[in-house]
Amino acid sequence: MRFTPKGYGGHRRDPEQVKRDGWYEQGVLAVSVDDHRLTWPERELVEQLGTKLYGKRPRGREVRHGR
C-alpha cells in the first residue's frame, strides 16, 4: 500500500545537486562565503555581493532568526 502520491518520497538529492540544478535550470546561484573551493578574492566578491543585495551579516557566533 502506498502512503504518498506517486512522485513523492524515494531518493533525495544532495544539497550540491540541488544548487547545481538551480544554476542550470533557473540561473540561481547559491554560494557559501566559506566554500573551500573559492579563492580569497572570490570569497570577498561573494561577501560584497551579499552585502550589496541583502545588507551586512551579523558578526557574532550566533545568527538570529526571526526578530
Model confidence, pTM = 0.67
* CA 53 from centre of chain: 15
Q: Residue 10: what pLDDT?
A: 72
Q: Write down the pLDDT at residue 38.
A: 97
What is the rounded CA–CA span in Å between residue 49 and residue 52?
A: 5
- Give the pLDDT of residue 62: 62
Q: What is the full per-residue pLDDT of the chain (67 aa) written as tens digits?
A: 667 777 777 778 899 999 999 999 999 999 999 999 999 999 999 999 999 999 998 877 665 666 5
